[in-house]
Structure 1
């Protein structure tokens, strides 16, 4: 399972809510275009946390993030074509709040007081938390997710969120 995100304008979000099939087509179109060039997170329209989503979910819940960045908040379609669970979205104001929380919460703060055994006990994937340096594995994903959300917030974009 991998965490997926797509930035959409407010007008596109309205269409997504009305026509989830159109949204799936848009996702496929953007992902196909991304295969030709890999933009930096701040310029990207699509972003993935790959398998780091579960670790980030655990840490953000522990830190009481004000926005569900990993699963999104409001469902807009059935999950059959989207992967695991229904896809959800974040409205622009929630994207701005998420960006602020990401920007003001460092990766070190997320891990403050966390013992790798805690992640293992909670069965947080990828289940290699006892290895040296394992807690640093998610840092680039978190930093890139922060850049992606900050760019979306600056553009006043909404966000589609799903696990594939």
Structure 2
């Protein structure tokens, strides 16, 4: 098992309904019915991507705009613990701001920021940072995140983030 991260794009009206009644979020995200909520599963890459964006693991990052790409800026009702804490979210204007920051990053930027030694030293999850395949794993998911944020920005959507 492990900690997997999923990002979901939702209209602001839906976010407001989740904030009023967090059980609706649980019902929508975890029902057996096919969901129409656009989502992106980034597997276990989430903390490695935080490191590429900030130079720190999620345990050490503090308040950082780029870390919000994965960690969000606010959380739902803490009693709604779906795995690794309560789901977190970003408002549409925050999504647009983050999109503007991450869309300018390219593969060379990411390669420059990748440092397996520091990642191991900082206990970046998961413990797989020994070789070039580790970077390729993060690169693959980061490109998907860039596209996901771009589409959410265009649609003026919020993003809900769960780590399970």
Q: Could you state the TM-score of these two structures normalised by the residue count of structure 2?
A: 0.83
Partner of 2:30: 28
Q: CA deviation at 1:126?
A: 2.6
Structure 1 gaps of 5+ residues are 35-42
Residues 137-152 of structure 1: pairs in structure 2 closer than 5 A: 137-152=137-152
Q: CA deviation at 1:62?
A: 2.4
Residues 5-154 of structure 1: pairs in structure 2 closer than 5 A: 5-29=7-31, 32-33=33-34, 45-62=38-55, 65-66=65-66, 68-78=68-78, 80-154=80-154
Change (3 A) 1:50 1:113: closer
CA RMSD across the alignment: 2.3
**Which aligned runs of 4 or more in structure 1 are off by greater than 6 angstroms?**
none
Q: Distance in 2 between matches of 1:21 and 1:132?
A: 42
Change (3 A) 1:32 1:105: farther
Structure 2 gaps of 5+ residues are 57-63
Q: CA deviation at 1:48?
A: 1.3
Change (3 A) 1:67 1:155: farther
**Aligned pair count?**
155
